[in-house]
Amino acid sequence: MKLYVGNLPFSATEDDIREMFGKHGGVQEVKLVTDRDTGRPRGFGFVEMGDDEGNAAIRALNGMEVGGRNLTVNEARPRAETRGGTGRSNRW
């Protein structure tokens, strides 16, 4: 199960998240999203774990205060397909 974790403190590390979610089961992967240009954290990320463990983590961690912020934890929505490109029209 892939979980979305939002409203993270900008100081959170992948190890912090792995430890927090690890209390609810085995964590397969943690990915914190960073700004492409600056490399700074964007305050959200994704955690992969088993279905039962993921549901337990959602129940335990959604709304929990961490670093003065209330976490948002839920099942990640599938990523929308994009066509790529620059978003600009090729018309002259």
What is the rounded distance in angstroms from the CA atom of residue 78 to the CA atom of residue 72? 17
Q: Which of the four pLDDT bands, split at 50, 70 and 90, describes residue 78?
A: confident
Residues in Cβ contact with 13 at an 8 Å cutoff, skipping those fewer than 6 apart: 32
What's the pLDDT at 89? 54
**Domains in the chain: boundaries:** 2-73
pLDDT: is 42 or 89 the higher one?
A: 42
Stated pTM of the model: 0.84
Contact 71, 17 (CB under 8 A): no
Q: What is the CA radius of gyration of the chain?
A: 16
What's the pLDDT at 62? 98
Secondary structure (3-state) at 73? strand
Give me the mean pLDDT over the 26-32 stretch.
Answer: 98
Report whether CATH 3.40.50.10490 matches the domain 2-73.
no
Residues in Cβ contact with 47 at an 8 Å cutoff, skipping those fewer than 6 apart: 2, 3, 5, 17, 18, 21, 27, 29, 30, 31, 54, 57
